[in-house]
Amino acid sequence: MPQLPALPQELIDRFVTGPMSAEAVHAASMAFEKALIERALGAEKSHHLGYPPGTAKPEEAGNHRNGRSAKTVLTEDGPPAH
């Protein structure tokens, strides 16, 4: 297994405010995984389109952003909990 990156203590402090049940730990890890996947997919889209969100589409760009819609990404843990 590859070595996991170190997480900032401030991030851990936002998730852990006291004792946590196994369910709470799982929910926090799923929330973090969801946010991480959304950020990675957004970056991938910006890279593919050639410009970041909130900026004007370059003249030479063929594709453009046309809104947002819900998506489901299946992970090793299965579908996300709602």
Look at residue 42 and tell me whether its pLDDT is greater than 90: no
CB within 8 A of 69, min separation 6: which ones? none
| The two three-digit tokens of residue 44, written as one number | 């991938």
Q: What is the DSSP letter of 14?
A: H
Instruction: Read off the pLDDT of residues 48-82 as tens digits, 9 standing for 90 and up.
Output: 888 888 888 777 777 777 777 777 877 777 766 55
So what's the pLDDT on residue 70? 79
- Please tell me the predicted confidence (pLDDT) of residue 33: 87
The mean predicted confidence, pLDDT, of the chain is: 83
pLDDT at residue 80, as a whole number: 60
Instruction: Identify the three-state secondary structure at position 82.
Output: coil
Cα-Cα-Cα-Cα dihedral sign, residues 64, 68, 69, 73: positive
Round to whole Å and give the CA distance between 6 and 57: 36
